[in-house]
Structure 1
Amino acid sequence: MRQPRFAKTWLPVLWILLGSSRLAILVFSFRRLAPHLGRPVGISSYSPLLTPAQEAKAAQIGQAIRLAARYTPWVSNCFPQAVTARLMLGLYRIPYSLYFGVMRDLETHEYKAHAWVATGRVAVTGGSGFDQFTVVGCYLSPRLTSK
């Protein structure tokens, strides 16, 4: 009950979006999902410039998504959260960068993958993945690029 009004208002919708995102990830190949993530720009890193109001809204969106993800009975890890963030930022017309990264665990020597969304100075979902993961793909808001 002590959550911000924005998070409480969007909680049911985000819960459904997280489930839909998870289902889409399980049902469709990445090749089919990728065109809906944004414009691919390879491994380049971009940080869209935002107004203070856009940054505040992006932070609210991230907080609400993390809250909804805690209450899903299915896995709502970084990838479904990133897809949901992309949808919400698109809804609010806030430019974004969606990143995919990998790292190799030094102890187990296993590879780990991560997805995160950043915009302006805000890490919307997935935290700041740049410090641990090597970017292997980046998708930009369609509004940021021209064909």
Structure 2
Amino acid sequence: MRRNLTSPNHKVGSFFLKPAFTKCWFVPVWLMLGISRLMIVTLTFRRIAPYLGKAVGVSAYSHILEDKQETQALRIARVVRLTARYCPWVSNCFPQAITARLLLGIYRIPYSLYFGLCRDPETNQFKAHAWVTAGRIPVSGGQSFQHYTIVGCYIRN
């Protein structure tokens, strides 16, 4: 007999197998993603920007992290990515970047939040993307440096 891996019972059961950090932060991150999305929809970027960190232009910054900070950044990356899949609203790169930035700030982990643009070769339209790194750890948005031209960067104050 095959098990249905997409059944609600399986998903609930697999949740309890997640690390304690993920279980503790799942609901707060879900709420942060919702609030982030609401802010993006209702406020101008000019109003949001002061909360992203210190604007440093288009330069790429990489912080050197201790092993403990890298481990924590990986945990944050996993919980943000997992939680975003369960939101009934759009939780694309920008809400995830804001949420990742908030969690990294709570744990006092240096971060860089980037905004980038690229031209889609098929449609010739611009595509925007936001991503966060903490040292060498891609916390949200993946490894985007090779695909996007940086148009803005914010770092931890």
C-alpha distance in 2 between matches for 1:134 and 1:28: 25
Matches within 5 A, 1:9-20: 9-20=24-35
Task: Select which of 16, 20, 23 maps to 2:38.
Answer: 23
Give the Å deviation of 1:3. 2.1
Q: Which runs of 5+ in 2 are unaligned?
A: 1-14
Q: Which amino acid aligns with 1:68?
A: T
C-alpha distance in 2 between matches for 1:85 and 1:132: 21
Give the Å deviation of 1:8. 1.4
Aligned to 2:145: 130
Give the Å deviation of 1:4. 2.0
Matches within 5 A, 1:88-107: 88-107=103-122
Quick one: percent identity of the two aligned structures?
Answer: 56
Q: CA RMSD in A?
A: 0.6
Residues 10-59 of structure 1, C-alpha deviation per residue, up to 9 Å, x if partnerless?
Answer: 00000000000000111110001001100000000001110000000001
* TM-score normalised by L of structure 1: 0.95
Aligned to 1:119: 134
C-alpha distance in 2 between matches for 1:82 and 1:89: 10
C-alpha distance in 2 between matches for 1:7 and 1:101: 29
* TM-score normalised by L of structure 2: 0.89
**Moved beyond 6 Å, runs of 4+:** none
Matches within 5 A, 1:35-46: 35-46=50-61
Q: Which runs of 5+ in 1 are unaligned?
A: 143-147
C-alpha distance in 1 between matches for 2:88 and 2:110: 30
Looking at CA atoms only, which structure, 1 or 2, has the larger radius of gyration?
Answer: 2
C-alpha distance in 1 between matches for 2:111 and 2:137: 10
